[in-house]
Amino acid sequence: MTARLNSAQPYALGLFRIVVGLLFACHGAASLFGVLGGVPGTHGGTVATGAWPFWYAAVIQLVGGVLVLLGLGTRLAAFLASGSMAYAYFKMHQPHALWPMENGGEAAAMFSWALLLLVFTGSGAFGLDRLFARRSSAERRRTAEQTPVAA
């Protein structure tokens, strides 16, 4: 049983990454474009362009979410996105109350920890990172095979 679960781990991780990236990107799209209900409490509104920190957070959410979703530069994108959510939690939520259930910071805390996990695990299956890594290693092997060895 454990062996089967271990063999499925890259696929479960890949699906986890896709779901987290999609949900994170949706938050950014809602804030920037007013889709999916827009900014909560604004009836489909958006954040003002350049407004600190909301507009910048929304850009990180959209771009970082799409990169994580695609599995492209997953570790770096997840690192930046996780940091932005940690900032959001400690700057915007935690001053109001200690616990996420009390201060409305559940989403920020969960995204921060989920994205931090991806920093350490990588993209898993179905990611473009793995596709490019395979191609570059295959190209290095071909180049090494074609290069004559000096005597």
Q: pLDDT tens digits for 15-43?
A: 999 999 999 999 999 999 999 888 877 77
Asked if 94 contacts 85 with a C-beta cutoff of 8 angstroms, the reply is no
- Distance, CA of 38 to CA of 150 (rounded, Å): 64
- Distance, CA of 29 to CA of 85 (rounded, Å): 16
Instruction: Give residue 130's pLDDT band: very low, low, confident or very high (50, 70, 90).
Output: confident
Q: How many structural domains are present in the chain?
A: 1
Tokens representing residue 44 in the block: 């489909």
pTM of the prediction?
0.86
What is the domain extent for residue 127? 14-146
Asked if 67 contacts 21 with a C-beta cutoff of 8 angstroms, the reply is yes
Summarize pLDDT for 50-62 with one digit per residue, the tens: 999 999 999 999 9
The whole-number pLDDT of residue 148 equals: 66
